[in-house]
Amino acid sequence: MSRLHNKTALITGGTSGIGLETARQFIAEGARVAVTGTNPATIEAARAELGDKALVIQANAGDVAGQKAVAEAIENAFGHLDILFVNAGAADFRPIEQFDEEAFDRSVAVNVKGPFFLIQALMPILANPTSIVLNTSINAHIGMPNTSVYALTKAALLSFAKTLSGELIGRGIRVNAVSPGPVATPLYGKLGMSVADTDAMAAAKIPAGRFGNPSEIAKAVVFLASDESTYTVGSELVIDGGMSNL
| Nearest alpha carbon to residue 89 among 167, 199, 14 | 14
State how far the Cα of 49 lies from the Cα of 53, in Å rounded to an integer: 9
Round to whole Å and give the CA distance between 78 and 57. Answer: 13
Report the candidate in 135, 116, 111, 141 with the shortest Cα–Cα distance to residue 185. 135
Query: Half-sphere exposure (CA, 13 Å, Cβ side) for 147?
Result: 17
127 sits in the region (left: phi over 0; alpha: psi -120 to 50; else beta) called beta
Q: Which helix (H) or strand (E) holds 129?
A: strand 126-135
H/E stretch holding 138 reads none
Side-chain half-sphere of 97: how many Cα atoms within 13 Å? 0
What amino acid occupies position 172?
Answer: G
Query: CA distances (Å), 50 to each of 3, 43, 44, 57, in order?
Result: 19, 10, 10, 13
Instruction: List residues with catalytic annotation.
Output: 150
34 bridge partner residues: 10, 55
